[in-house]
Structure 1
Amino acid sequence: MSEETGTTMYFYNVYSSDTYSVEYRVPNGAADPLESEMGPFLGQCTSELSGKMERFVTTGAKSYAYKETLENGDSKIKVKSKRISLNSEASKKVTMEQMEEMVEEVLAGISRSTIKVPQQQVRRDRNHDVYFKEVSKKFRFTFDKRRVLPDGSTLPYGYCN
């Protein structure tokens, strides 16, 4: 509970969080509990949304995608993934649909798929010559902070009823 605003953020409305961010759901008709915390100044919250979020999927820490509807009615899909530069070629392989399929595999208990994503790394040799090296990184479901149950809910590791 925020002592300044007197609002409560229930844990089941939080999709994911890390040191500097939190993704959460506000039920239809409910007030945004962090609305008064938003602003452009240091210590205030900011939103990366330009419209209303319609769908959200995460495959692990700092690896997520969401679809939002903008005020003019257009839809926009944003995909983010740690350690992978989502250039034109990589964006064709790491998509929101692919992430949703990976989550469905985990929920169904079948083997997890891995996508090889082409990347370029900048390298420097002993003579300080700079060149690019083609590498392949693996993208996969890495949600390892909590147990994922078949219904999609999660529990902390070690939790017992």
Structure 2
Amino acid sequence: MTRTVAVTRVVDLPADAAWDLVVDARNHQRWVPLTRITVEGLPIAVGSRVRAVSGPFQERGVPGLLDTMRVDVLDPPAPGRPGTAVFTKLGPVLRGSAGIHVAGVDGGRAAVTWTEDVHLAGPLPRALTAAVLAPALAVMLRLALHRVVREAARRPV
């Protein structure tokens, strides 16, 4: 059993604009601390590969934590239906999935939910490593979505 971490925030953008903002993984490096992101296969589509490198000196070329992902689901929101994106984590260190869900809410705004169901690759039990990672992931998601909300508030609609 893994431990899914989920954080939801309402952004002052319509669902389609919020979707475009949060699903484009290139934007994530503005929100996730100490992380550089590259995407193979643009525009973002099912099958695109995302490579995130995190660490205090990664911007200077020092190796960091590599998180390689593949976009497996990309279903944008439609009237009356939320959108869902699923990024499968392929390793070498992190396994599991990340999800982004965007639903329209009152006032032309959108609820963005970012989930992480992550564990470490390797010999340790999946449930153990997921439990150890969950608190850090929760902090990262809260900070990232705080930054998304702040950025969305500055964007023209």
TM-score range, shorter chain: under 0.3
Kindly indicate which of the two structures has a greater share of residues assigned to strand. Answer: 2
Normalised TM-score (structure 1): 0.26
Kindly indicate which of the two structures has a greater share of residues assigned to helix. Answer: 2
Larger radius of gyration: 1
